[in-house]
Amino acid sequence: MILRDPVHGLVTFESDEVEIIPTLLATREVQRLRRIRQLGLASYAYPGADHTRFSHALGTAHVMTRYLRRLRDIDQELPYWQRVTTENARDAVAASLLHDVGHGPFSHLFEDAIPEGPSHEEWSARLVMYPDGELHRLLSSYDTSLPERVVGLIRGKHRLSYLSSAVSGTFDVDRCDYLLRDAHFTGVSYGAFDLDWLLRSLRFGHTGGDGPAPPIAIDGSKGLPAIESFIMARLFMFQQVYFHKATRAADWMMRQVLGRVRELVLDGTRVGSVPPAMVSLLRDGDTTCAEYLEIDDIALLAAMSEWRHCSDPYLSEMSTRLHERKLYKTYELHGSQRDQGPELLQIAQDIASSQGFDAERHVGLDEASDTPYDEEDSPLRVVFPSHSPRRPSQVSFILGRLSGEKLRRVRLIFPPSLRDEIEKAVASTTLASSSAAT
């Protein structure tokens, strides 16, 4: 199989150990990912960001083949029982392709909005193990224990720790692909980093021995800029894309829409067009694989399109607004304002109430946060010819300054018509409190 990917260029899956990829791609479970956008509603902020989970899954499998090639170049230094076998390699590319096969509509959005259901990771595992699925049948046809091994890898468990951390870790193949992909499709150049150099910088944390296989590590003499620019790319993408105000506002509105549907469904009110899987999830906290496979962006967008005409005014209004991208506005809290979140939310809601809005439904406080580089639990080390391995923050100018730092965005979200009044009220409150503090 040979195809063109706008991110990685020429992508091929041809050797024996990756010939499983084309067959996996043809299953309906994986094809469903064509109908789930990678970045949810981010194309409301970045008009190019309509790329799907399918292209990301493909890219992730491709990066895994390159990762494995690098491992093979260096694993001669390990005892043979710690090296990657053909079977391991096949397991790893399959797991990398399937790691997110369980995502629901709009990726993270759906599971955030319906927290009573299983997580997407749990769905990934279920779909791999689903006996009536094309996917499970295919995997089993290779080897009856292959589905279980894939689930193990997806959950980060493997005899070879350098392999499980390739599927999920500080710089796993998933992140390698999505940073480059999201950068390519949004046009945010800051997300690019040097994948070639990063892969080339991989080393093992030690040279084996009798114990367990070594963790993955970075070459200290050549690899630092690669890992630094990778971390910086993550930071920039969070700042610019994942935490973008329009995306966050649209996400919040979609959660409100789904939340209202939940209320109506649980109240027993008839709401048309709700996909069966969603009804089951809301009522029973779970659904079947067969039902789950039927929900995707198309199903949810088609439902939302119907809800524009439903009898519930709030659901109708919010659905129409999302359909036509008539988004709510945001006000970002800076500095000490961020500690006053609940108080400022109350002020904004009071304003909304005084204007006749149902304040709880129309005004929200949105907090997004991430630690771009969290070294605490990471086994990643930097290795040198004549020193013991060190933590990246010990040897990197920039990582030493970033490690553990938390990036945080707190925003009020509200209808456009309230913008001026809310901004004014928040500004004066903040001013008052900061002069009081002085």
398 binds a second copy (CB under 8 A): yes
Among 156, 208, 225, 341, binds a second copy (CB under 8 A): 225
- Distance in Å, CB of 157 to a second copy, minimum: 30
- Distance in Å, CB of 325 to a second copy, minimum: 5
Among 28, 72, 159, 270, binds a second copy (CB under 8 A): 28
- The window from 81-89, 105-113, 139-147, 235-243 that contacts a second copy (CB under 8 A) reads 235-243
Instruction: Specify whether the CB–CB gap between 288 and 130 falls below 8 A.
Output: no
| CA geometry: angle 204, 70, 185, nearest 5 deg | 115
407 binds a second copy (CB under 8 A): yes
Among 324, 352, 325, smallest CA distance to 412 is for 352
Q: Based on CB atoms, which residue is closest to a second copy, 4 or 132?
A: 4
- Distance in Å, CB of 186 to a second copy, minimum: 6
- Distance in Å, CB of 267 to a second copy, minimum: 26
Q: Based on CB atoms, which residue is closest to a second copy, 9 or 268?
A: 9
Of 44-103, which residues contact a second copy (CB under 8 A)?
A: 46-48, 50-52, 54-55, 58
426 binds a second copy (CB under 8 A): no
- Distance in Å, CB of 156 to a second copy, minimum: 27
Q: Based on CB atoms, which residue is closest to a second copy, 165 or 229?
A: 229
Instruction: Specify whether the CB–CB gap between 238 and 188 falls below 8 A.
Output: no
Neighbours of 302 (CB within 10 A): 13
- The window from 208-216, 230-238, 279-287, 349-357 that contacts a second copy (CB under 8 A) reads 230-238
Residue with tokens 């004014």: 424
Neighbours of 347 (CB within 10 A): 18
131 binds a second copy (CB under 8 A): no
368 binds a second copy (CB under 8 A): no
Site string for a second copy, 178-207 (x = CB under 8 A): ------xxxxxxx-x-x-xx--x-------
Spatial neighbors of 200 by CB under 8 A, at least 6 apart, are: 70, 222, 223, 226
Q: What is the DSSP letter of 118?
A: P
7 binds a second copy (CB under 8 A): yes
- CB burial of residue 398 (10 Å; 0-12, 13-18, 19+): middle
Among 18, 21, 39, 43, binds a second copy (CB under 8 A): 43
Q: Which SS3 state, helix, strand or coil, does residue 251 take? A: helix
- Distance in Å, CB of 89 to a second copy, minimum: 17
Length of the chain: 438
- Distance in Å, CB of 258 to a second copy, minimum: 17
Q: How would you classify the pairing of strands 216-219 and 381-383?
A: parallel
- Distance in Å, CB of 202 to a second copy, minimum: 13
Tell me the two tokens of residue 34: 């064509």
416 binds a second copy (CB under 8 A): no
Q: How far apart are the first and last CA of the chain?
A: 67
Q: Based on CB atoms, which residue is closest to a second copy, 76 or 144?
A: 76
Among 397, 420, 436, 437, binds a second copy (CB under 8 A): 397
- The window from 105-113, 172-180, 264-272, 317-325 that contacts a second copy (CB under 8 A) reads 317-325
Among 39, 81, 399, smallest CA distance to 212 is for 81
What are the backbone angles phi and psi of residue 280, rounded to the nearest 5°? -60, -45
Q: Based on CB atoms, which residue is closest to a second copy, 77 or 360?
A: 77
Instruction: Specify whether the CB–CB gap between 124 and 135 falls below 8 A.
Output: no
Instruction: Specify whether the CB–CB gap between 59 and 8 falls below 8 A.
Output: yes
Count of chain residues binding a second copy (CB under 8 A): 67
Neighbours of 229 (CB within 10 A): 18
Q: How many CA atoms lie within 13 A of 407 on its CB side?
A: 19
- CB burial of residue 5 (10 Å; 0-12, 13-18, 19+): middle
321 binds a second copy (CB under 8 A): no
Residue with tokens 């070459």: 219
Instruction: Specify whether the CB–CB gap between 196 and 181 falls below 8 A.
Output: no
23 binds a second copy (CB under 8 A): no
Instruction: Kindly list the residues in this chain that would bind a second copy in the complex (CB under 8 A).
Output: 2-7, 9-10, 12, 26, 28, 31, 34-35, 37, 43, 46-48, 50-52, 54-55, 58, 184-190, 192, 194, 196-197, 200, 222, 224-225, 228-229, 232, 235-236, 239-240, 294, 298-299, 301-302, 305, 323-326, 334, 386, 395, 397-398, 401-402, 405, 407, 427
